[in-house]
Amino acid sequence: MKRTRIGVLASGGGTNLQEIIDSCERGEIDGDVVVVVSNVPDAYALERARKHGIDAFAFDHKDQTREQHEKDIIDCLERHQVDLVALAGYLRMLTPVFIEKYAGRLMNTHPALLPSFGGKGMHGLNVHKAVLDYGCKVSGCTIHFVTADVDGGPIILQKAVPVLEDDTPETLQARVLKEEHKLYSRAIQLFAQGKLRIEGRRVRILEL
């Protein structure tokens, strides 16, 4: 069976990237991270990739049009013949051209139970603060396919976590992130196994 070639886009420290790499190396994903791309030249995600012998590239978006910046990334991904693009803390908005090119092959993770607490500005601690401010009793994480609708693509997997009485945004973030790491790798493995089928807004998980 052909192993899935995974390209990861990351802007920061890359903890989700690390978990994906580790899951591949443990045999929990029938695939390999073949390239990591960042828009931040000193992102630690690039160092994580290099430590595992994975090609790593930075394409600084400053002083470039969004279209040229994305063309450089697409060219890089195509050279590495990626089957799946995983966003792992990638903080640039993608254009419809990029999203359409990788439609059904572009995944993202969100640290809340979508469609709640998604959309513009909802990333990092902002999400967890909003959950606590609203008084939610549960939160969680969502793995979804990316569409032009921000945080609005078809949902692949979700995992709920409790919100505790004494939670801060930081403690809630840590609890969600622990589950997010496991859930993202599981979603990627389902893709690698050919078990995901998109039907409108729904993602069917097939038993092959």
Does this chain's domain 1-102 share its CATH topology with 110-208? yes
Which pLDDT belongs to residue 208?
Answer: 64
Q: How far apart, in whole angstroms, are the C-alpha atoms of residue 111 and residue 141? A: 4
Mean pLDDT, residues 173-196: 97
**Greater confidence, 60 or 153?**
153
Q: How far apart, in whole angstroms, are the C-alpha atoms of residue 20 and residue 11? A: 16
Is the confidence at residue 86, as pLDDT, over 80?
yes
| Mean pLDDT of all residues belonging to the chain | 95
pLDDT band at residue 17 under the 50/70/90 scheme: very high
Q: How far apart, in whole angstroms, are the C-alpha atoms of residue 168 and residue 184? A: 24
**Greater confidence, 123 or 98?**
98
Which pLDDT belongs to residue 120?
Answer: 86
Beta bridge partners of 198: 203
Beta bridge partners of 31: 4
Sequence spans of domains, the chain: 1-102, 110-208
pLDDT tens for 133-162 read: 999 999 999 999 999 999 999 999 999 999
pLDDT tens for 109-133 read: 999 999 999 998 888 899 999 999 9
pLDDT band at residue 16 under the 50/70/90 scheme: very high
CATH number assigned to the domain with residue range 1-102, chosen from the 4 options 3.40.50.170, 2.40.50.1070, 3.40.50.300, 3.40.1190.10: 3.40.50.170
pLDDT band at residue 20 under the 50/70/90 scheme: very high
| Assigned architecture for domain 110-208 | 3-Layer(aba) Sandwich (3.40)
Residue 15's H or E segment, with its range, is helix 15-25
Which pLDDT belongs to residue 168?
Answer: 97
pLDDT tens for 32-51 read: 999 999 999 999 999 999 99
Residue 100's H or E segment, with its range, is helix 96-101
Which residues carry out catalysis? Answer: 110
Q: How far apart, in whole angstroms, are the C-alpha atoms of residue 54 and residue 117? A: 34
